Structure 1
Amino acid sequence: MSYAKVLCVGLVGVTGHLVEVEADLAAGLPAVIISGLPDTTLHEARDRVRAAIVNSGQHWPNRRITVNLLPATLPKIGSGFDLAVATALLGGTGELPLAPVDGVALLGELGLDGTVRPVRGLLPMVVAAARAGVTQVVVPAANAAEAAVVPGVRVKAVDTLHRLIAFIRGAGELLDPPPPKPGTVQAGPDLADVAGQAFGKRALEIAAAGGHHLALIGPPGAGKTMLAERLPGLLPPLDDAAALEVSALHSIAGVLPPGSALLRRPPFQAPHHSATVASLVGGGSGLARPGAVSLAHHGVLFLDEAPEFHGRVLDSLRQPLEKGRVLITRALGVTEYPARCQLVLAANPCPCARPAGDQLCECPPVVRRRYRNRLSGPLMDRIDLQVSLTALRAVDLMTTQAPAEPTATVAARVAAAREAARQRWAGQGWRTNSVVPGPALRRPPWRLPAGETAALRRRLDVGAISARGFDRILRLAWSIADLDGRSRPDSADIDEAIQLRTGEL
């Protein structure tokens, strides 16, 4: 037999596709040709596979070898095809009967000594295999725990090519994945540790309840970073579908902890202000990899010292914030990553950032205005809550009163508010108030009475807010009502939402 075929999985963005790896051995000058839109890493597989086969005690066929990856129009990226290529090639020689791996997806990178090494993005690969009807996969031993979380797929692991060859020949067994770890949610920093800032805590709770974006502006030491770091603890743990999405993105980026179960805690990403557009929204050579905004999917993206970020970097977030996804076009194709996260911006009021605020500020008005303008109007228009924090006083730090509410207490109220919103919007498929389209809130049955929205409409008519701001204030009002346990917002909720959005009383 000079032809053999096995299954593998290729990734384009976060989407996996079943790939057929064909090997044909023909007479002619010895050579290895790989077709099917392979990238540079996959082109180099011929040298890795040759060394791995020889060092596993097998004979390398000195024939003209053609390896084809179907569908040929789909770009193939990465080293995860090595194990499938080696198996198909050995099957093509006629020395390895491939019946035991018929319908089995083989995933893994080969070392020159024949060891099977872990690969990035294995979790979405296994998910794609399951959706394509594959019921068994063979993965690297280091990825076994990651693959085992996918339901409906039997996972077997290998540590060397020799072990896989022995199994196919009936002379050995594959490895079982380790027992799953309990899916616990690790506790984060406690909200009770934040001194004072009752207004900031209220804004944080509303942001968590409705999934709203938040901007915290205040002097150094006011607690902006402490508040932002505690937002993930207020969010509900990720359900199975969300946990699988988040874990898949972290797997593609290579930051999924080894041997871990699905990520259940909402992720928290805090890139440095020197971050580039590619690191924030995704990029890289070939097909783009996920950036910080996608790694924060279903969680929080925190930009500390936001005015220090380059303007192009900040403005690149505008489309992901609006659409909840990132679409990156490259020469090799289009990559799409989910990016439904909550953005939290923290900024000082001016460059000198004196703790006493305006009283001791040394910045001329033009400098203050230029500093604040680094956060463009179109970006800030997409931020639902824009809160100004004041400097802490000694009484806030040294108080002997009862401690502030802990994270667990506030998180319980947030969970109840989110459940109320989920039930209200269940028929339309929306889960949080922040994603409800504006027209839905401005039409029956969810349109509020004219008397309750009069102040809001006046601000729109005089140009104090935009149409987008109008809708975002309505969404905030619904989140406030959900937190207070009421079925619909009233005029007081609208007023509070206006204050949180504009700073006006």
Structure 2
Amino acid sequence: MARTRSVALVGVAGRTVEVEADVGNGLTGIHLIGLPDTALSEARDRVRSAVVNSHYPWPDARITVSLFPASLPKRGSQFDLAIAVAILGAAGVVPAERIADPVFLGELGLDGRIRPVRGVLPSVLGAAQHGEVTAVVPSGNAAEASLVPELKVVPVGHLRELVEWLRKGEEPPQPEAAEPAQQPQPETAGEVDLAEVVGQPVARRALEVCAAGGHNLWMLGPPGTGKTMLAERLPTLLPRLDLDHSLEVTAIHSVAGTLTSNAPMLSRPPFVSPHHTATTAAIIGGGSTVVRPGAVSLAHRGVLFMDEAPEFARHVLDALRQPLESGRVTVSRAAGSVTFPARFMLVLAANPCPCARAEDQTERCTCTPTVRRRYLGRLSGPLLDRIDMKATVARSSRRELLADRQFVETSETVAERVLLARDRAAKRLAGTPWRLNAEIPSAVLHSDYRPPAAAMQPMTSCLDSGTLTARGLDRVVRVAWTLADLAGKDSPGQEETHTALGFWLGVK
């Protein structure tokens, strides 16, 4: 009998699994127990072929492989390597004491090659929580696994290479430490700049405020006014992720299988722009057997841009309400519930009507008032109530475009102001679990960070008249704090609260 370890993923959290193999008397065959799924049940044939084709003897006996804890569902092919090593240890091919402590992850090919798998980073992060550990991973995942500090990574490319290392006890070559790499942004990554957007000074200002405070934005206007250009340039205004946030984001993309070999660690805020035909499962996350993160989780600590927002199904848009409030999303299936982090900045873009000429003075709109109301009515009131800022993006004349060119600023210039504003907010929020104004809960907002009475007067008047909801009041106060941080003030004044209220009401 021999015992080793592997890791099972539950969402983006890794849980250590003990893999025990017993070679004994009985009818020849291999039996897997411990709630394996179909992919894991097929590991019996993959493991046997890999061992035989690596020129090691296969035990001609009854082999029982147990995965503990038995109550935890095990899915995927990442257990192949641990199962093979446990069987070889029970058969005496490798020393059983050498395989007891390391964690083994990897999928086996029929010829013995060890192939990369998804979710290596969250898996080794979960294993490393229990102290110093050695992780044996496929060579293709070595850079990703080496991101975890104080973790000994053993990269292997073939089962025979691993067995010889276990037999001889020699130190394997260590992978080079992975450097944080910038995640690819939309098509023109590295080339887009805020200075390219001319004629929309209000929208550019709204973008800066959103970047400084982590707020949500809705842009309304006809085609060709720069809504998509503005949204794609929002990530260029955001600072690089902190190490803990970077590992968190990278773990999500590792589970989703979107990491590239040349970018094992994401240090830039992600930008996710799903098509308007996306389903609820694609946006929120889901799956019939293996639950995968959706767009809201892939945009964690970054930007989720929904272009042509009214074209999305209404139930898809309303599904965003819960993660916008809590910063996480829980996907429930018959096998259990999985929680993914989902704290993102939502940017919505919409035309004023289906024909997109409602505000165009050169051509007549063909949509009736009923059609316009029904079109924009797909964005429900509760969803828009969770949008901090609303900006109208109108078409600019030639003179306006020429006049605005002298006022445009590069992304680098605006990003410096954003970073200073975020530093002011971080100092004010020191000692709390929040880093941005958008993250401050309502109770704390109105107790520890309530603006002066004079500054609150415009908002309380709107609250009394019914123009502003209680949730809207919270969001206006948060935006006012961000405006104060950008202005270098210690607290918001009437100027900041008036501006924040105008942004929330959508006043141009």
TM-score range for the pair, normalised by the shorter chain length: over 0.9
Equivalent in the alignment of 2:440: 436
CA distance in 1, matches of 2:109, 2:455: 68
Relative to structure 1, the CA distance from residue 420 to residue 171 in structure 2 (aligned partners, 3 Å threshold; closer, same or farther) is: closer
Is the CA contact 2:207–2:230 (under 8 Å) kept in the aligned structure 1?
yes
Give the alignment of 1:375-414 within 5 angstroms: 375-398=379-402, 401-402=405-406, 404-414=408-418
CA distance in 2, matches of 1:356, 1:496: 24
Letter in 2 for 1:429: P
Deviation at 1:80, TM superposition (A): 0.5
Is the CA contact 1:145–1:260 (under 8 Å) kept in the aligned structure 2?
no
Matching residue within 350, 355, 360 for 1:352: 355
Equivalent in the alignment of 2:140: 142
Is the CA contact 1:235–1:411 (under 8 Å) kept in the aligned structure 2?
yes
Relative to structure 1, the CA distance from residue 273 to residue 442 in structure 2 (aligned partners, 3 Å threshold; closer, same or farther) is: same
Deviation at 1:454, TM superposition (A): 1.8
**Structure 2 gaps, min length 5:** 184-188
Alignment of 1:113 onto 2:111: yes
Matching residue within 171, 174, 177 for 2:175: 177
CA distance in 1, matches of 2:336, 2:102: 28
- 3-state SS, counterpart of residue 274 of structure 2: coil
Deviation at 1:404, TM superposition (A): 1.5
Alignment of 1:124 onto 2:117: no
Deviates more, 1:305-314 or 1:170-179: 170-179
Alignment of 1:497 onto 2:494: no
Equivalent in the alignment of 1:27: 25
Give the alignment of 1:416-427 within 5 angstroms: 416-427=420-431
Matching residue within 21, 36, 39 for 2:37: 39
Matching residue within 290, 295, 299 for 1:292: 295
Deviation at 1:73, TM superposition (A): 1.4
Letter in 2 for 1:320: P
Equivalent in the alignment of 1:247: 250
Is the CA contact 1:136–1:154 (under 8 Å) kept in the aligned structure 2?
yes
Alignment of 1:151 onto 2:149: yes
Q: Name the Cα RMSD after superposition.
A: 1.7
Alignment of 1:74 onto 2:77: no
Is the CA contact 1:350–1:363 (under 8 Å) kept in the aligned structure 2?
yes
Relative to structure 1, the CA distance from residue 122 to residue 382 in structure 2 (aligned partners, 3 Å threshold; closer, same or farther) is: same
Letter in 2 for 1:455: P
Deviates more, 1:177-186 or 1:368-377: 177-186
Is the CA contact 1:13–1:287 (under 8 Å) kept in the aligned structure 2?
no
Relative to structure 1, the CA distance from residue 329 to residue 356 in structure 2 (aligned partners, 3 Å threshold; closer, same or farther) is: closer
Letter in 1 for 2:388: D
CA distance in 1, matches of 2:292, 2:59: 37
Deviation at 1:484, TM superposition (A): 0.5
Alignment of 1:209 onto 2:216: no
Letter in 1 for 2:65: V
Equivalent in the alignment of 2:4: 6
Deviation at 1:450, TM superposition (A): 2.6
- 3-state SS, counterpart of residue 8 of structure 2: strand
Letter in 2 for 1:452: A
Is the CA contact 2:182–2:263 (under 8 Å) kept in the aligned structure 1?
no
Deviation at 1:75, TM superposition (A): 1.3
CA distance in 2, matches of 1:71, 1:174: 31
CA distance in 2, matches of 1:76, 1:134: 24
Relative to structure 1, the CA distance from residue 68 to residue 297 in structure 2 (aligned partners, 3 Å threshold; closer, same or farther) is: same
Relative to structure 1, the CA distance from residue 116 to residue 396 in structure 2 (aligned partners, 3 Å threshold; closer, same or farther) is: farther
Aligned length: 502
Letter in 2 for 1:277: T
- 3-state SS, counterpart of residue 453 of structure 1: helix
Deviation at 1:446, TM superposition (A): 2.6
Q: Deviations over 1:318-363 (max 9, x none)?
A: 1011100011111111111100000000000111102853672221
Deviates more, 1:282-291 or 1:239-248: 282-291
Equivalent in the alignment of 1:333: 336
Letter in 1 for 2:293: P
- 3-state SS, counterpart of residue 168 of structure 2: coil
Equivalent in the alignment of 2:366: 362
- 3-state SS, counterpart of residue 169 of structure 1: helix
Is the CA contact 2:86–2:99 (under 8 Å) kept in the aligned structure 1?
no
Matching residue within 471, 475, 483 for 2:474: 471
- 3-state SS, counterpart of residue 435 of structure 2: coil
Letter in 2 for 1:486: K
CA distance in 2, matches of 1:377, 1:125: 40
Equivalent in the alignment of 2:307: 304
Deviates more, 1:176-185 or 1:340-349: 176-185
CA distance in 2, matches of 1:336, 1:188: 35
TM-score by length of 1: 0.96
Is the CA contact 1:8–1:106 (under 8 Å) kept in the aligned structure 2?
yes
Equivalent in the alignment of 1:282: 285
CA distance in 2, matches of 1:421, 1:171: 52
Q: Deviations over 1:47-99 (max 9, x none)?
A: 11011111110111121111111111111111101000000001111232133
Is the CA contact 2:310–2:378 (under 8 Å) kept in the aligned structure 1?
yes
- 3-state SS, counterpart of residue 329 of structure 2: strand
- 3-state SS, counterpart of residue 301 of structure 1: strand
Equivalent in the alignment of 1:481: 484
CA distance in 1, matches of 2:258, 2:381: 34
- 3-state SS, counterpart of residue 206 of structure 2: helix
Identity percentage over the alignment?
51
Q: Deviations over 1:414-448 (max 9, x none)?
A: 111111111111232211111111222222x4322
Deviation at 1:101, TM superposition (A): 3.1
CA distance in 2, matches of 1:188, 1:488: 36
Letter in 1 for 2:107: E
Letter in 2 for 1:234: L
Letter in 1 for 2:256: A
- 3-state SS, counterpart of residue 246 of structure 2: helix
Equivalent in the alignment of 1:200: 203
**Structure 1 gaps, min length 5:** none
Equivalent in the alignment of 2:102: 104
Equivalent in the alignment of 2:229: 226
Equivalent in the alignment of 2:48: 50
Is the CA contact 1:12–1:287 (under 8 Å) kept in the aligned structure 2?
no
- 3-state SS, counterpart of residue 261 of structure 2: coil
Letter in 1 for 2:28: P
CA distance in 1, matches of 2:292, 2:144: 19
CA distance in 1, matches of 2:77, 2:449: 52
